[in-house]
Amino acid sequence: MNTVMKRILVLLVAVTPATASADKMWNQGKGTTWDCAKDPVVTIAHGKATYTFKGTCKTVNISGATNKVKAEHVEELNVSGSSNTIDVGTLGRVNLSGSQNKVTFKDGDAPQINITGTQDVVTRAGGTEPATATPAVATTTIDCSKNALFEYAENNGTFKFTGACQKIAISGNNNQLEVETAQAIIVSGNGNVVAAAAVDSIMTAGNENKVTYKKTATPKATIKIMNPGNKNKIAKAK
């Protein structure tokens, strides 16, 4: 290598910025033990594994399912997967958007808790009561101009439907729906609350549902109501 090429190489090394290290991620395997002093931001993107985190973790993200996780200290825990079991010594904040996750913390104050998933539980070790009695519920907006058919078989959802829907079918329980316009609303689950601004037909095959409407979606039409279930309340909103 001649002198000129050496000088060019030295200059390139000098002006090239160092590449930032990526956050630690696992997307396969049976699990491991990790010291968060090496990288405090970690992600588990697969399931059925066992992980132990030592030291202080800034952020722990879990998008996989059925993992078992133990950690000494976590500043923020984000769980979008389902059926994970997480035991933490001290926990600053936890965000649960998946379902059926169980988070237990041992020491310190109760963490800040945000639950938008279903059947998620956060408890103090040795206790039986959830650390939060009223989890936050996020509203999901459905644009019926993009998808006129909607079916939902899960529980405890909160939905707002915009535009003209063809059919909305709810077979889950304890959901809350706000509907702008729908040709048909079918509720086969239990304990759901539906408020429709305009709808042509309502069928409540489940039990103890409450459905209100203001007018028909089709002008001058007569609303069709079918109520084969029990203890349902269907009424025109005042």
Structural domain includes residue 131: no
- Note the pLDDT of residue 14: 39
180 is a domain residue: yes
pLDDT at 127: 65
| Structural domains of the chain, count | 2
| Same domain as 109, residue 59 | yes
Return per-residue pLDDT of the chain as tens, 238 residues: 554 444 433 333 333 333 334 689 999 999 999 999 999 999 999 999 999 999 999 999 999 999 999 999 999 999 998 899 999 999 999 988 888 889 999 988 888 888 877 778 888 887 654 544 344 456 788 898 888 899 888 888 889 999 999 999 999 888 899 999 999 999 999 999 999 999 999 999 999 999 999 999 999 999 999 999 999 999 999 8
Cα distances from 60 to residues 125, 183, 236, in angstroms, run 19, 44, 48
Shared domain check, 108 and 80: yes
Whole-angstrom Cα distance, residue 233 to residue 212? 8
Residue 129 lies in a domain: no
Report the pLDDT value the prediction gives residue 4, as an integer from 0 to 100: 41
Do 114 and 188 lie in one domain? The reply is: no
* Residue 80 counted as domain residue: yes
What pLDDT shows up at residue 139? 76
Q: Are 174 and 211 part of one and the same domain?
A: yes
In this structure, the answer to whether residues 151 and 183 fall within a common structural domain is yes
Whole-number pLDDT of residue 138? 63
Confidence at residue 128, expressed as pLDDT on a 0 to 100 scale: 52
Give the structural domain span for 79: 22-124
Residues 175 and 108 in one domain: no
Residue 76 within a domain: yes
Pairwise CA distance, residues 181 & 172, whole Å: 21
Contact of 65 with 82, CB cutoff 8 Å: yes
In-domain check, residue 8: no
Same structural domain, 99 and 182: no
Angle at 49 between CA 44 and CA 51, to 5 degrees: 65
Q: Which of 63, 139, 54 is closest to 96 using CA atoms?
A: 63
- Considering the domain architecture, whether residues 41 and 118 belong to the same structural domain is answered as yes
The one-letter amino acid code at 194 reads: V
Global confidence as pTM: 0.51
The reported pLDDT for the residue numbered 104 is 92
pLDDT value of residue 7:
44
Q: Could you tell me if 28 and 116 lie in one domain? A: yes
First-to-final CA distance of the chain: 88
Whole-number Cα distances in Å, 78 to 61, 62, 112, 210: 5, 6, 12, 34
Residue 7 is assigned to a structural domain of this protein? no
Task: Determine the pLDDT at residue 21.
Answer: 44
Looking at 100, 124, 148, which one is the last position of a domain?
Answer: 124
- Sorted by sequence, the CB contacts under 8 Å of residue 148 that are 6+ apart come out as 164, 165, 166, 167
In sequence order, what are the residues at sequence separation of 6 or more whose Cβ sits closer than 8 angstroms to the Cβ of residue 86? 62, 69, 70, 71, 77, 79, 101, 102, 103, 104
Q: Are residues 109 and 32 part of one domain?
A: yes
188 and 155 share a domain? Answer: yes
Is 214 part of a structural domain of the chain?
yes
Last residue of a domain, one of 69, 91, 124: 124
Determine the pLDDT at residue 9.
Answer: 39
26 shares its domain with 118: yes
